[in-house]
Chains A and B, each alone.
Chain A
């Protein structure tokens, strides 16, 4: 891969930098309506020429996608969201492909779209073969009656948020008559390879997926999209390499946003703030088709709704609903931030109702022993961690500023394990990992582990971007999993290599290793779940114009063992800004007609350098896991913990109850004028 030196010298190889001889450019004609019958299409490639279903891939795709909700690679008789690909055209240059779009003809018969997920639950199905708009529905826990002194009930909402990496989606596909080779910006070449195989009914042995420098992802690039299948199919038809690079405008309408969740939550408590029971409805706006995440998200939020708290009675209804919007995908945290936001907001509302310190309410509901929630969430002894967190975050010192505090548990997507291959060649140690870096410094993770396991100096360790033609089996980089299972896979590969050398040569030394030409591959399985606890504290100031200035964000996160402290810190800083963005401005807005109102990356609310000038204080807690390197994962902690802490601080300072993000400054003004 290109190194960080290459990148500061402008010599990275990102997907738009990939050029092959005779390569052509694909452009998509997309639906202008949220819902319509398509009566006629005239274009180079339509659903009549290219048929297929885009397979589910990436985080949350474990669940089976049911037939009526699967997304066709090009829309057939109906379109179900603004931006849905209807046809594709090809040009020798990007400009020529775009010109050809103006020649595409589509006749629509517009239909009434369903935009509101709650309304869609009982409405006529938006998809012809579906019986209803319910993509998935589950009841978690067990129904209960409880004698409670107080019941607090609220409806909370987080709108859809775009992932918005600065590099959009893109790929180059080349079919040479026998094999399909794909270069792609991705979080996992394995999820992509499998999805290509399923979507195109191609033998997986004939597909090679190669990752190129990946310019951010945040959940977006673990998934598989209709456009990918179309680009590959066109290459198979024409025999020419095909490239598609998503424009930002396409990203806004047709990539998969995250969040989009409503929580109607009820807490039953005694007068001292002990929560006796939790009931709720989680409603996820899954968009028009199920991509895995759509059906997965609601239950996943419900499963971890109680977070670190020991709540004995729980009964949660989780429903994913189809609406006339782009399908839902994962966004940094993927269900975890939604759960923590709902729970932490409710803890604050309970505290207010009882006029008890919100910290006391939280502590009262933490257990000093392990706990398994009625939904199956396993929690380590939590109370000692959070008592310590308050000291570490210097809660008392900030008290006068009316800080907001949040407690949460990150359960990383560690299950399933990860693959690693090491090849020693010409004195260099090349390492491939199953999860694909998209900015998290996997290179430093790898070089630290390999140098300490094998004793070779870091200069001779080469971290390679993923390539399914090198390492045969892997999973992917999402759900805060790489440091945990990726790190473990690197350790297992190093040990296997060492063992083999000892067996062959009767001993081991680093120079023996670098004199060899040798390769090992492992898949290090991992079952079970881990807890990374975390706490945040935030302070804000609200000016005369009701604008919120975030002053301080303090993070106290358990990372197990930090493999590289500065990398951990930078992951936290980056995620913190995304968390602040969620509270202050980030939102993908839709009109009643299902049109996308958000028009640009600025409009989507992504923060700029001047939007937050406050201070981020990072304190790393190290309670090692049982894995050889003790890691636990941290990538998503800030997007989980920061939003509820900031919203809580805004509520404390303004006195205005806040249930939804992003906050509406006007609502803060209204209160002041009262």
Chain B
């Protein structure tokens, strides 16, 4: 079947088997290997991507379900200012050990910071509840997200707008 969608800002068109999962189309057909598979029951969040701006588990969707939608993977968010700050903070605060959960964690936290938050740790913890990390115990991840948010809050809206990334 023919799937038309926007992937990381580009219009794409591809012939896919109707049963094929979105995760497999992203990884196999487009080589987007930031998207990881950690379970087969939509429970670990390693495969999280944005569909029309919202975090979605790409192992839990048939590719055909994103017909006409916009899909963004970690690769496609690399120019976003917020994502850059988040990545820096994950590196600085060791928000990753093995790094397998990291893309999914970054996507979920990017979504949280983009929609804005009250800046308490509980909200951060809830935002990444769907992403399991077996290595870090979450402490350094929560810290990474909190610190990125603090930095972003200090960066004035004007600066963001100058960079062309204001809301």
**Minimum C-beta distance from A12 to chain B (A):** 6
Interface residues of B in 134-150 (CB under 8 A from A): 134-142
Question: Nearest A residue to B38 by beta-carbon distance?
Answer: A166
**Minimum C-beta distance from B6 to chain A (A):** 19
Find out whether the CB atom of B97 lies under 8 angstroms from the CB atom of A214.
Answer: no
Question: Nearest A residue to B130 by beta-carbon distance?
Answer: A608
Do A165 and B138 contact each other (CB < 8 Å), given the known contacts A8-B90, A10-B74, A601-B41? no
Kindly state whether residue B33 has any CB partner on chain A within 8 Å.
yes
Find out whether the CB atom of B135 lies under 8 angstroms from the CB atom of A439.
Answer: yes
Do A600 and B39 contact each other (CB < 8 Å), given the known contacts A10-B103, A214-B98, A439-B97? yes
Q: Please measure, in the bound complex, the distance between the C-alpha atom of A598 and the C-alpha atom of B94, giving whole angstroms.
A: 32
Q: Please measure, in the bound complex, the distance between the C-alpha atom of A367 and the C-alpha atom of B20, giving whole angstroms.
A: 64
Q: Please measure, in the bound complex, the distance between the C-alpha atom of A608 and the C-alpha atom of B43, giving whole angstroms.
A: 10
Q: Please measure, in the bound complex, the distance between the C-alpha atom of A7 and the C-alpha atom of B164, giving whole angstroms.
A: 26
**Minimum C-beta distance from B108 to chain A (A):** 10
Interface residues of A in 167-219 (CB under 8 A from B): 167-168, 213-216, 218
CB neighbours (8 Å) of B126 from chain A are 609-610
Kindly state whether residue A567 has any CB partner on chain B within 8 Å.
yes
Find out whether the CB atom of B94 lies under 8 angstroms from the CB atom of A567.
Answer: yes
Interface residues of B in 97-113 (CB under 8 A from A): 97-103, 106
Find out whether the CB atom of A574 lies under 8 angstroms from the CB atom of B91.
Answer: no
Do A216 and B100 contact each other (CB < 8 Å), given the known contacts A10-B74, A248-B38, A573-B137? yes
Kindly state whether residue A4 has any CB partner on chain B within 8 Å.
yes
**Minimum C-beta distance from B146 to chain A (A):** 13
Interface residues as binary, B15-49 with A (CB distance below 8 Å gives 1, 0 otherwise): 00101100010011000111111111101101000
Q: Pick the contact of B33 from A17, A441, A566 — CB < 8 Å?
A: A17
Find out whether the CB atom of A7 lies under 8 angstroms from the CB atom of B96.
Answer: yes
Q: Please measure, in the bound complex, the distance between the C-alpha atom of A584 and the C-alpha atom of B46, giving whole angstroms.
A: 24
Interface residues as binary, A15-53 with B (CB distance below 8 Å gives 1, 0 otherwise): 011000000000000000000000000000000000000
Interface residues of A in 572-628 (CB under 8 A from B): 573-578, 599-602, 606, 608-610, 612-613, 616
Interface residues as binary, B109-131 with A (CB distance below 8 Å gives 1, 0 otherwise): 00000000000011011101111
**Minimum C-beta distance from A282 to chain B (A):** 27
Interface residues as binary, B80-91 with A (CB distance below 8 Å gives 1, 0 otherwise): 000000010011
CB neighbours (8 Å) of A216 from chain B are 97-98, 100, 134-135
Interface residues as binary, A139-172 with B (CB distance below 8 Å gives 1, 0 otherwise): 0000000000000000000000000111110000
Find out whether the CB atom of A11 lies under 8 angstroms from the CB atom of B34.
Answer: yes
Kindly state whether residue B66 has any CB partner on chain A within 8 Å.
no
Q: Please measure, in the bound complex, the distance between the C-alpha atom of A17 and the C-alpha atom of B26, giving whole angstroms.
A: 12
Q: Please measure, in the bound complex, the distance between the C-alpha atom of A133 and the C-alpha atom of B74, giving whole angstroms.
A: 51
Kindly state whether residue A541 has any CB partner on chain B within 8 Å.
no
Kindly name the residue among A167, A218, A576 whose own CB sees the greatest number of chain B CB atoms within 10 A.
A167
Q: Please measure, in the bound complex, the distance between the C-alpha atom of A335 and the C-alpha atom of B88, giving whole angstroms.
A: 38
Q: Please measure, in the bound complex, the distance between the C-alpha atom of A573 and the C-alpha atom of B43, giving whole angstroms.
A: 22
CB neighbours (8 Å) of A578 from chain B are 134, 137
Q: Interface of chain B, helix or strand or loop or mixed?
A: loop
**Minimum C-beta distance from B93 to chain A (A):** 9
Question: Nearest B residue to A245 by beta-carbon distance?
Answer: B37
CB neighbours (8 Å) of B124 from chain A are 609
Find out whether the CB atom of A95 lies under 8 angstroms from the CB atom of B40.
Answer: no
Find out whether the CB atom of B96 lies under 8 angstroms from the CB atom of A8.
Answer: yes
CB neighbours (8 Å) of A609 from chain B are 124-126, 128-129, 131, 133, 138, 141-142
Find out whether the CB atom of A215 lies under 8 angstroms from the CB atom of B99.
Answer: yes
Kindly state whether residue A94 has any CB partner on chain B within 8 Å.
yes
**Minimum C-beta distance from A83 to chain B (A):** 14
Find out whether the CB atom of A95 lies under 8 angstroms from the CB atom of B17.
Answer: yes
Find out whether the CB atom of B44 lies under 8 angstroms from the CB atom of A601.
Answer: yes
Q: Please measure, in the bound complex, the distance between the C-alpha atom of A426 and the C-alpha atom of B35, giving whole angstroms.
A: 34
Kindly state whether residue B62 has any CB partner on chain A within 8 Å.
no
Kindly state whether residue B75 has any CB partner on chain A within 8 Å.
yes
Q: Please measure, in the bound complex, the distance between the C-alpha atom of A573 and the C-alpha atom of B33, giving whole angstroms.
A: 28
Kindly state whether residue A14 has any CB partner on chain B within 8 Å.
yes
Q: Please measure, in the bound complex, the distance between the C-alpha atom of A489 and the C-alpha atom of B74, giving whole angstroms.
A: 38
Find out whether the CB atom of B129 lies under 8 angstroms from the CB atom of A616.
Answer: no
Interface residues as binary, A262-293 with B (CB distance below 8 Å gives 1, 0 otherwise): 00000000000000000000000000000000
Kindly state whether residue A673 has any CB partner on chain B within 8 Å.
no
Kindly name the residue among A566, A574, A576, A606 whose own CB sees the greatest number of chain B CB atoms within 10 A.
A574
Kindly state whether residue B58 has any CB partner on chain A within 8 Å.
no
Kindly state whether residue B78 has any CB partner on chain A within 8 Å.
yes
Kindly state whether residue A5 has any CB partner on chain B within 8 Å.
yes
Find out whether the CB atom of B43 lies under 8 angstroms from the CB atom of A600.
Answer: yes
CB neighbours (8 Å) of B98 from chain A are 165-167, 213-216, 438-439
Question: Nearest A residue to B76 by beta-carbon distance?
Answer: A10
CB neighbours (8 Å) of A168 from chain B are 38
CB neighbours (8 Å) of A7 from chain B are 96, 99, 102
Find out whether the CB atom of A166 lies under 8 angstroms from the CB atom of B46.
Answer: yes
Kindly state whether residue A440 has any CB partner on chain B within 8 Å.
yes
Q: Please measure, in the bound complex, the distance between the C-alpha atom of A8 and the C-alpha atom of B98, giving whole angstroms.
A: 11
Find out whether the CB atom of A613 lies under 8 angstroms from the CB atom of B125.
Answer: yes
Find out whether the CB atom of A165 lies under 8 angstroms from the CB atom of B137.
Answer: no
Find out whether the CB atom of B91 lies under 8 angstroms from the CB atom of A601.
Answer: no
Find out whether the CB atom of B100 lies under 8 angstroms from the CB atom of A165.
Answer: yes
Kindly state whether residue B132 has any CB partner on chain A within 8 Å.
yes
CB neighbours (8 Å) of A138 from chain B are none
Find out whether the CB atom of B20 lies under 8 angstroms from the CB atom of A95.
Answer: yes
Interface residues of B in 61-79 (CB under 8 A from A): 73-75, 78
**Minimum C-beta distance from B62 to chain A (A):** 13
Find out whether the CB atom of A601 lies under 8 angstroms from the CB atom of B43.
Answer: yes
Kindly state whether residue A570 has any CB partner on chain B within 8 Å.
yes
Find out whether the CB atom of A440 lies under 8 angstroms from the CB atom of B97.
Answer: yes
CB neighbours (8 Å) of A576 from chain B are 137
Q: Please measure, in the bound complex, the distance between the C-alpha atom of A112 and the C-alpha atom of B165, giving whole angstroms.
A: 65
CB neighbours (8 Å) of B139 from chain A are 570, 573, 616
Q: Please measure, in the bound complex, the distance between the C-alpha atom of A248 and the C-alpha atom of B134, giving whole angstroms.
A: 14
Find out whether the CB atom of B38 lies under 8 angstroms from the CB atom of A94.
Answer: no
CB neighbours (8 Å) of B28 from chain A are 93
Kindly state whether residue A247 has any CB partner on chain B within 8 Å.
yes
Find out whether the CB atom of A610 lies under 8 angstroms from the CB atom of B34.
Answer: no
Find out whether the CB atom of B39 lies under 8 angstroms from the CB atom of A10.
Answer: no
**Minimum C-beta distance from B130 to chain A (A):** 8
Kindly state whether residue A9 has any CB partner on chain B within 8 Å.
yes
Find out whether the CB atom of B134 lies under 8 angstroms from the CB atom of A606.
Answer: yes
Q: Please measure, in the bound complex, the distance between the C-alpha atom of A322 and the C-alpha atom of B70, giving whole angstroms.
A: 53
CB neighbours (8 Å) of B128 from chain A are 609
Q: Pick the contact of A439 from B74, B99, B142 — CB < 8 Å?
A: B99
Do A95 and B137 contact each other (CB < 8 Å), given the known contacts A166-B38, A215-B100, A574-B97? no
| Between-chain CB contacts (< 8 Å), 30 pairs | A4-B96, A7-B96, A7-B99, A8-B87, A8-B91, A8-B96, A9-B74, A9-B78, A10-B32, A10-B103, A12-B99, A14-B100, A16-B27, A166-B135, A167-B38, A167-B98, A213-B98, A216-B97, A216-B100, A247-B40, A439-B98, A574-B135, A575-B137, A600-B43, A601-B43, A602-B41, A609-B124, A609-B141, A610-B125, A610-B126
Q: Which residues of A pack against B, CB within 8 Å?
A: 4-5, 7-12, 14, 16-17, 93-95, 164-168, 213-216, 218, 245, 247-249, 438-441, 566-567, 570, 573-578, 599-602, 606, 608-610, 612-613, 616
Q: Which 3 A-B pairs have the closest CB atoms?
A: A10-B34, A215-B100, A439-B98
- Further 13 A-B residue pairs, CB within 8 A, beyond A600-B39, A609-B131, A612-B137: A8-B96, A10-B35, A14-B100, A166-B36, A166-B98, A215-B99, A248-B41, A249-B41, A439-B98, A577-B137, A602-B43, A609-B125, A616-B137
